[in-house]
Amino acid sequence: MHFNVKALSVAISIALVPAAAFADEATDAKVAKLEQQVQALQAQQTKSLTEKFNFNGFISGAYISSDNDAGYNGASSSADFSQDSKIGFQGTFNISNQTQAVLQLMMKGENDWDVEAEWAYLSHRFDNGTKIRGGKLRVPLFMYSDYLDVGYAQPFARPPTEVYDQVPFSSYTGGDISYDFEFEDSTLTLQGFGGESTVPNSDLDLSNIMGANVSWTDLTWTFRAVYGQTDLDGEANGLIIDNEQAVFNGLGGSFDNGSVIAIAEWTTVEIDGLLSDHESGYLTVGYRIKSFTPYATIAYVKTTDDDVRSNLPPQLALPLSLGLNEKRTAYSLGLRWDAIDNVAIKFDLTYATDFGDTNGGLETNPVINPFTKQFQFDDTLVYTVKFDAVF
C-alpha cells in the first residue's frame, strides 16, 4: 500500500485546526474569568477603602466692622471680610474598628489663607473603653475647644474673647488618655493630657504641658472642670521669661432642652513672675423659635495682680501697668438663623466697655497720657454678619 505523504500532512493539519480553535476558546474563557475576578477584587478593595475613609469640612464667612479703631475682636472702622472667615477639611481613616488616623487642615483669612494642620493624630480605643490619642491635638481647656473653629457648632457668632483669648495657643503636640463611665441616662468622662507647644507669632515656648478634665452630661445638662499647667520660656510683652510656670483652672456648664439654651464658663490664669494673672467668665442665654435663636451674652476679663506691678520701682511700674493691666466687660445681642440644613446665618452686636484705667486688653488702643493712664478709646461697638456651614 502506498501513502500519499502530501495528502496525509494536509489531512493532519485540517484535523488539528478545530482542536487548536477549541484550545484558544478555552484559554480566552479562562482569561476572561480571571479578569472578572480581578475586577471584582479591585472593586471590593476600593469599596473597603471608601468605607474606611470619612471626609467632612466646615466653612465660615464673615463681615465685621466697628464704630472705632480700638481693635476689639480684630475689628476696625473699615469693613473686614477676613478676620472671622475660615475653611477646614477633616479626614478620618479607620485603620481598624478601634484605631483611627485623623487629619484636619485649616485655612484662615486672618493668616492670609495659609494651610495649617490643626489636628494630626492617631487614636486607639481598647476593649475596656479606654481611648488614647497621640500627635497634634486641641488643648482641651474650654467647653468649645473641640469645635473652636466650627462656627456651626456654636450658638453665638464667636466664642467670647474675654475667656477664649486668655490662652494664646489652641493646639499642642503630645497625647491624651480618656475613659467614659456610662450610666443609665448620663456619661462621665475623665481625660488626662500632656505635651508641648508654642505661641503663634511669638518667641514663647511651652513645655511640660499637663492637665486633666472631668465632664458629665445627660445631653440636657453638661458640667465640666479642668486644670492645666505648663512651663514658659522665651519672650513676651518685652519680658524675658525663664522657665516660669502658668496654671489654668476652668469651670463650665450648659443647659439645652431643645428650646432654652444657657452656657457659662469661668476661668483663671496664673503665671509666675511679672506676666499678668487673669480671671474671666461669660454667660450666654438663648431661646429657639423654630429656625431662629436670639441670644444674649455678658462676658468679662480682669487682671488680678495689678498690685504686683504697681509696687515695682516707678521706672518699671508705669510701663508694665500700661502694657499688662487689663479690664473689660462686653455685652452681646445676637440672632442665629438656621436658614437651611447645615447652614446658619448669624447677626451679632457686641459692646465692650468698662476698661477702667487700662487699654481694655486691646494692643491697638494707644495711650494718650501715660501719667493719668488715659487711652484713646474707652469703649467700642462691633457689628458682625456671619454664615457658618458644615459639609
| 37 within domain boundaries | no
Taking the C-alpha atoms of residue 219 and residue 185, their distance in angstroms, rounded to an integer, is 9
Q: What CATH number corresponds to the domain at position 334?
A: 2.40.160.10
| 40 within domain boundaries | no
- Give the residues across from 271 on adjacent strands: 246
Chain segment 119-144, per-residue pLDDT in tens: 999 999 999 999 999 999 999 999 99
Taking the C-alpha atoms of residue 350 and residue 329, their distance in angstroms, rounded to an integer, is 10
Burial of 140 (0-12, 13-18, 19+ CB in 10 A): buried
Nearest Cα to Cα of residue 226 among 243, 241, 209: 209
| 34 within domain boundaries | no
pLDDT for position 1 = 46
The helix or strand, by DSSP H or E, that contains position 316, with its residue range, turns out to be: helix 314-324
In this structure, are residues 156 and 120 in contact, taking their beta carbons and an 8 Å threshold?
Answer: no
Instruction: Work out the end-to-end distance of the chain between its first and last CA atoms, rounded to an integer number of angstroms.
Output: 91
Buried/exposed code over 50-85 (b: 16+ C-beta within 10 A; e: otherwise): eeeeeeeebbbbbebbbebbbbbbebbeeebebbbb
Separation in Å, CA 162 to CA 33, 84, 103, 148, 352: 68, 16, 29, 15, 10
Nearest Cα to Cα of residue 199 among 167, 241, 164, 221: 167
pLDDT for position 33 = 72
Residue type, 88: G
pLDDT for position 162 = 98
The model's pTM: 0.86
| 213 within domain boundaries | yes
Instruction: Work out the angle at residue 109's Cα, subtended by the Cα atoms of residues 103 and 114, and round it to the nearest 5 degrees.
Output: 50
Contacts of range 371-379, beta carbons closer than 8 Å, 24 or more positions apart = 371/318, 373/321, 373/322, 376/70, 377/68, 377/69, 377/70, 378/353, 379/70, 379/351, 379/352, 379/353, 379/355
Taking the C-alpha atoms of residue 329 and residue 337, their distance in angstroms, rounded to an integer, is 26
The overall longest dimension of the chain from CA atoms, in Å, is 138
Number of domains in the chain: 1
| 130 within domain boundaries | yes
In this structure, are residues 229 and 250 in contact, taking their beta carbons and an 8 Å threshold?
Answer: no
In this structure, are residues 89 and 151 in contact, taking their beta carbons and an 8 Å threshold?
Answer: no
- Give the residues across from 161 on adjacent strands: none
Chain segment 299-326, per-residue pLDDT in tens: 999 999 999 999 999 889 999 999 999 9
Q: At 302, is the secondary structure helix, strand, or coil?
A: strand
Residues in the chain: 391
Domain with 375, as residue range(s), is 54-390
pLDDT for position 40 = 64
pLDDT tens digit at each of 391 positions of the chain: 454 545 545 444 544 445 554 556 667 677 777 777 667 666 666 656 778 999 999 999 999 999 999 999 999 999 999 999 999 999 999 999 999 999 999 999 999 999 999 999 999 999 999 999 999 999 999 999 999 999 999 999 999 999 999 999 999 999 999 999 999 999 999 999 999 999 998 899 999 999 999 999 999 999 999 999 999 999 988 899 999 999 999 999 999 999 999 999 999 999 999 999 999 999 999 999 999 999 999 999 999 999 999 999 988 999 999 999 999 999 999 999 999 999 999 999 999 999 999 999 999 999 988 888 899 999 999 999 999 999 9
| 23 within domain boundaries | no
| 27 within domain boundaries | no
pLDDT for position 38 = 66
- Lookup: cell for 95: 485603620
| 17 within domain boundaries | no
DSSP 98-156: SEEEEEEEEEEGGGTT-EEEEEEEEEEE-TTS-EEEEEEEE---STTGGGTT-GGGSSS
Nearest Cα to Cα of residue 348 among 92, 158, 143: 158
